[in-house]
Amino acid sequence: MPSADQPPVPPRRASTRTHHGDTFTDPYAWMRDKADPEFLAYLNAENAYTEAVTAPLADLRQEIYDDISARTKQTDLSVPEFVRHPGLGEYWYYARSTEGLDYPSYHRCPAQGRDSLPDPSKGTPEGEQLLLDAQALATGKEFFALGCFDVSPNGRLAAYSVDTSGDERYRLTFLDLLTGQAMADEVPEVASGGCWAGDDAFCYLTVDDAWRPDRLWRHRLGDIGEDELLYTEADERFWLGVDSSRDNRWVQLGAASKSSTETWLLDAIDPAATLRSVAPRRDDIEYDVEVAGDRLFIVHNDGAPDFTLAEAPLTSTDPSEWTPIWPGEPGVRLLGVVSYDRVLVQSLRRDGLQVVTLRHRDAAGDVGPEVGIAFDEPIYTVDVDGGDEADTDRIRLHYQSMVTPDEVIDYHLVDGARTVLRRRPVLEHPVNGPYRPTDYRQQRVWAVVADGTRIPISLVYRADTPLDGSAGCLLYGYGAYEISVSPSFSIARLSLLDRGYIYAVAHVRGGGELGRAWYTEGRLEAKENTFTDFISCARHLVSAGYTSTDRLAAEGGSAGGLLIGAAINLAPDAFAAVHAAVPFVDALTTILDPELPLTVMEWEEWGDPLHDPDAYARMRRYSPYENLKEAQYPAILVTTSLNDTRVEVTEPAKWVAALRHDSGSLRPILLKTEMVAGHGGSSGRYQAWRDAAFELAWLIAETPPHPKG
């Protein structure tokens, strides 16, 4: 059993790798086999060491866990969604969380129109029906996740899928909602998601050996024969996704690589129908299809890097049939549209914020000019909930900021009136009292990097936190796949802010905050911009007086873990502590192996180092595991999961071992592995709170906040 001052020392067994004239010797390549008893023993020894080292933080961890628990309304109801089932009637659908239980239950009750919204303060809605009890399904399981829960268009059946190991392979099951009984139909080893094709068939995906969703199947309920294979995606760069149109008439199959897409439609009613491509795939052309009754709305980037809007006949099979509606605007990224009978709702990223605008439709269904929906806060996020009803006089918005808890808003189309249906409750803290947004401040500042680019940073802190360099600060970053880190609210984060910290998000290049160019300037040949941007943001927070280097921590997960690893190699003195979650830190080794999950698909994001010497040299230059140096690194906490299929546990385990051996750093380096979990970590909410408390307590201990008073 390791002691608090002696981490485990894994054996070093030299294994060489040669590509493009470069040879790298990897002493920990033997860790690739995660079923190896020696490797599992090493992970358990690391867990024991981490537990021993962090034992003095038990009281602080409990305090933070109690903070989260006290502020969270643990028995609660989601905002019900209105659904009209032909032949069955109108219903409200909602989920209920219950104090003491990790997982919710799913329910419905009869509705009398859209204005009959159930009031959770008045107890159980009349006629409530339990549809699915996730807690009961999770009983006795160390891990549990739903891949889908989807009610049939006629409201009589439901499909759900479950993963109990974290490897993202699910078992698909069907329910008869009128009797409450499970049906005999079951399909093992499916991917997440799926949709109904009419009322008696369900479409689902399966994955190949690289965990890539590559085949679309149709299961007809009650049919004991082999399911019908509708499509196989042979190109290993592309993965599939499936959904239904709002009117449930069409199954929509999408194939996407990192730079190209293709969409097919399948008539869900006609059993003899076949898939029809809306437009053949073309290199570097992406398009997304919204079915709107008699036409298609298409968001695409053909001639418009930040995407443009077109419409086409429902029967369209060629881009020549696309009629432009909006030409696009440089720097304003059109993310997608949702169509209703009276309005077309656009989601855009404008000035670094995710916003919603409207285009009202006339009696013929044609769209008008763009109309904005304004909010008062300087930074926020708003999105539209698609819903199921095209014929509606209101749309439902989801709104939040770094100080405003999540709100669900009914926006009335006739007069623009807004009704807040629910704001996430934040209960009174036994010491700090009630939550008041006015006690906190949020703002956006900008760091200027060497090439003159201005990098936005979103900040939130208590109003009484001194901005004189004495505050602790946690800087978060991601910076890949055009994924934007939008301003959001977090109850767990309050435990950090109330202890004198500033929380910051670096919106580095590689994300999508400022349009498609922001993404392309942080990928492939420009990938290193992501890392230098993050370091510049850290330096700016110190030079501007928000914090000091000895109080500055950093955090990132998955591709954000690569960001953390590369940043501390370039500037080990920039941070006092870092948390890397499921970090992609042995990137070059992984991307060189096309047999590993997801690798071939990733070549369009990082480059193809197996066949391209320039891509190899570039990744060899920044891959964290291969660029360690002798230096005093910050304190490092690495968290990972044994069953992660996106970033194999091998990567963080090798990185920790090499950091200890190669760097000579005197700061603690810890590895914590969830032995039954996947890429997202623990599945139960109470364990997730304990994990958050563990991570925050460690960060606070390594970057102690200023003394108050």
CB atoms within 10 A of CB 414: 8
Contact criterion met (CB below 8 Å) for 589 and 17: yes
Measured at the CA of 648, the angle between CA 15 and CA 518, to 5 degrees, comes to: 105
Alpha carbon distances (Å) from 704 to 161, 268, 335, 548: 44, 59, 40, 11
The DSSP code sequence of 140-194 is: T-S--EEEEEEE-TTSSEEEEEEESSSSS-EEEEEEETTTTEEEEEEEEEE-S--
Tokens 């690495």 found at: 638
As a whole number of angstroms, the distance between CA 90 and CA 116 comes to 11
Could you give the 3-state DSSP secondary structure of residue 601?
helix
As a whole number of angstroms, the distance between CA 343 and CA 361 comes to 5
Question: Catalytic residue among 679, 682, 683, 706, which?
Answer: 679
412 is catalytic: no
Calculate the CA 108 to chain-centre distance.
27
Joined together, the tokens standing for residue 323 give 């009629």
Of 223, 251, 228, 64, give the one whose Cα is nearest residue 150: 251
The DSSP code sequence of 435-487 is: --GGGEEEEEEEEE-TTS-EEEEEEEEETTS--SS-SEEEEE----TT-----
167 is catalytic: no
Contact criterion met (CB below 8 Å) for 361 and 343: yes
Residues 6+ apart with CB under 8 A from 391: 340, 341
Tokens 């040669």 found at: 18
CA gyration radius, the chain: 26
Query: Exposure string (b/e) for 563-596, b if CB count within 10 Å is 16 or more?
Result: bbbbbbbbbbebbbbbbbbbbbbbbbbbbbeeeb
Contact criterion met (CB below 8 Å) for 344 and 337: yes
As a whole number of angstroms, the distance between CA 337 and CA 310 comes to 11
Contact criterion met (CB below 8 Å) for 531 and 566: yes
Of 395, 355, 580, give the one whose Cα is nearest residue 486: 355
679 is catalytic: yes
Calculate the CA 541 to chain-centre distance.
26
CB atoms within 10 A of CB 462: 18
Alpha carbon distances (Å) from 190 to 217, 218, 268, 369, 496: 10, 12, 20, 43, 39
Joined together, the tokens standing for residue 288 give 């997304």
As a whole number of angstroms, the distance between CA 356 and CA 344 comes to 10
DSSP assigned state of 121: G
Of 249, 234, 253, give the one whose Cα is nearest residue 194: 253
The DSSP code sequence of 682-700 is: --SHHHHHHHHHHHHHHHH
As a whole number of angstroms, the distance between CA 680 and CA 687 comes to 12
Question: Catalytic residue among 644, 663, 665, 691, which?
Answer: 644
Residues annotated catalytic, as ranges: 558, 644, 679
